[in-house]
Amino acid sequence: MFEYFYNEILRKTIVGFGSLFNEIEIKHSHDVGTESLIKVPLAYGPTQKFLARLEQVPNLNKPVQITLPRMSFEFTGLNYDPSRKVTTTQTFLAGLAADGKQIRKSYMPVPYNMQFELAIFTKLNDDMLQIIEQILPYFQPNYNLTINLVDSIGEKRDVPIVLEGITMQDDYEGSYDTRRALIYTLRFTAKTYLFGPVSDVSKDVIKKVSIGFVASGEGGRDVTYSVEPKATKNYSGDVTTNLSLDITATTKNIIVNDASSIPAKSYIVLNSEEMYVKSKSGNTLTVTRGADNTTATAHVAGTNVGLITTADNALIVAGDDFGFDGDL
């Protein structure tokens, strides 16, 4: 039932959440009339770890601002969000490359909520207020963070980061040798999506079809039909030549600028119409109009003429019926 895959969605969301708070600074004014900006360091870890360090290291009052203030964040919980549920068996297609020719298929994502806690430690109350005021205005109560959830299909989504609440703790009462701990804890919820394995649609393309049956009646015999599907579009978009004269929807002989690269018994495409080239004489092509159930229409001189080649077969995308929509 299960197969190995790892989209790194949880990891990317954790890293993205932490990146929101790694550029916070505070300002200190000095007696000589000067000011200094201090960047608040950010680390991943539980609040208890930093509290234990505050209590165990006696020389934290030294004038080194990397000690306090500081912040830490932690991924604390994960739960399913039924309010954002979609059909679990529905799939969607995505183009891997910019031209969309490399197609990947995936099931619809599953909504999950990730809980985070951001702890802020300061020695001075003014430092705490400076930090809080740089965070709260962006959450009303959520902030949308754009994350590239699945690299293989280029799936980018806005993940709402919701501020759920704030807890304040100020342990200023105690003996003189007890270090004051001013701690604010901000609780957040990230509404992300988890994707399953992504499959390569090109591996599902039918390369060859064989049908065998026994003819009924006296003297019946086994009959087998074998056919290799072909592309019905010029996926590469290459222009082989151009139409020399206007043609109507019923014209059978068309003249192109240069037919040297178009062999007989091949297929060409003009706009959205496919034509079968039965023969050619010089730059005149004798064609069958509206091949593979395309619609024969009029075309003007200068229209691009594309040749369907074996290279186009390798670019077949999901949804192409390969011309198998008729009856045998």
Distance (Å, whole) CA 252 – CA 268: 13
The answer to whether residues 268 and 173 belong to one domain is no
The answer to whether residues 152 and 275 belong to one domain is no
The answer to whether residues 28 and 121 belong to one domain is yes
Q: Which domain holds residue 272?
A: 231-313
CATH of the domain at 268: 2.40.30
pLDDT digits (tens, 9 = 90+) for 251-306: 999 999 999 999 999 999 999 899 999 999 999 999 999 988 889 999 999 999 99
The answer to whether residues 58 and 124 belong to one domain is yes
The answer to whether residues 299 and 155 belong to one domain is no
CATH of the domain at 124: 3.30.2000.40
The answer to whether residues 110 and 165 belong to one domain is yes
Distance (Å, whole) CA 78 – CA 76: 7
Burial 121-134 (b: 16+ CB within 10 A, else e): bbbeeebbebbbee
Residue 200 or 13, more confident: 13
51 membership: H or E segment, kind and range: helix 47-56
The answer to whether residues 148 and 276 belong to one domain is no
**Has residue 46 been placed in a domain?**
yes
pLDDT digits (tens, 9 = 90+) for 14-66: 999 999 998 899 998 877 778 888 888 888 877 666 555 555 454 545 444 34
**Has residue 222 been placed in a domain?**
no
The answer to whether residues 32 and 104 belong to one domain is yes
The answer to whether residues 17 and 158 belong to one domain is yes
The answer to whether residues 247 and 184 belong to one domain is no
**Has residue 163 been placed in a domain?**
yes
The answer to whether residues 63 and 133 belong to one domain is yes
pLDDT digits (tens, 9 = 90+) for 119-163: 998 888 899 999 999 999 999 889 999 999 888 777 888 999 999
**Has residue 47 been placed in a domain?**
yes
CA dihedral 5, 6, 7, 9 (to 10 degrees): 140
pTM, two decimals, is: 0.57
In this prediction, residue 101 has a pLDDT band, given cuts at 50, 70 and 90, of low
One-letter amino acid at 232 equals T
CB 137 within 8 A of CB 79: no
Domain count of the chain?
2
The answer to whether residues 158 and 90 belong to one domain is yes
**Has residue 278 been placed in a domain?**
yes
DSSP-assigned letters across all residues of 265-284: SEEEEETTEEEEEEEEETTE
**Has residue 226 been placed in a domain?**
no
Last residue of a domain, one of 157, 179, 201: 201
